Amino acid sequence: MPTLLGIEEAGRGPVIGPMVMAGVLIEESDSEKLKAIGAKDSKMLSAKQREELFKKIVKIAKSYKLIIIPPSEIDAALESRELNLNWLEAHKSAEITNEFKPDKVIIDSPSNNVKSYKKYLLNLLEWKNCEIAVEHKAEKYPVVAAASILAKVTRDKEIEKIKVKYGNCGPGYPSNEITQRFLKENWNKYPEIFRHSWESYKRVVRAKNQKSLEEF
């Protein structure tokens, strides 16, 4: 029975917390089962729906893998000459594909240049014996939607852990008012939870440094 792997991420944009990459491996014929339980883009589902679907997806899947990428690893990628956020995703996608050795893999492309992204990814694959589809909005495929749900639920749990340990940081997105306030008040207290390479973080640091200079 041919196997199908779907790969997707959650938490690409936040200034707080990790990004999560998920891979879901199924027998290709089980796509219909994922569709039947209502697997679709995680953004179209409530938190409760996602959590319920998480349990159902892991029962249908032959296997799955979750990679939690901490802020420090994201910063290191963005500050290096070799990597950026897209290439970092490609490395994690290759890691998942190499481990599962599927007959076919469908990956949601983070890059506008799908052709270039696919070429970069192919160079990272040790497992060459598979058909590869790299597309925008790949959540239309149930197996990629399933991966997006697993990634999102895992990312949300990581944020909950941060809230318990450090206080209410909101969802971690720079546009959120609670996150903005938390960032301004705690940027230097808990460096490990912030993405220092994000412009929203740099802006707060610049403003604080400017204020210190003025006071000096």
Q: Tell me the two tokens of residue 81.
A: 């000459």
CA gap 130, 208 in Å, rounded? 51
Q: Which residues of 42-78 are buried (b: 16+ CB within 10 A; e: fewer)?
A: beebeeeebebbbebbeebbeebbbbbbebebbbebe
pLDDT of residue 215: 58
Residues lower than pLDDT 70 in the chain: 211-216
> DSSP secondary-structure letter at 96?
H
Instruction: Tell me what pLDDT residue 210 has.
Output: 76
pLDDT of residue 208: 81
d(CA 113, CA 110): 9
* Class of the CATH domain delimited by 3-163: alpha beta
pLDDT value at position 41? 86
CATH topology of domain 166-215: Arc Repressor Mutant, subunit A (1.10.10)
Contact between 86 and 57 (Cβ < 8 Å) = no
| C-alpha triplet 136, 114, 78: angle, nearest 5° | 100
Per domain, the residue ranges of the chain are 3-163, 166-215
For residue 130, what are the contacts with CB-CB under 8 A and spacing of at least 6? 97, 101, 102, 103, 104, 105
What is the distance, to the nearest Å, from the Cα of residue 91 to the centroid of all Cα atoms in its chain?
Answer: 13
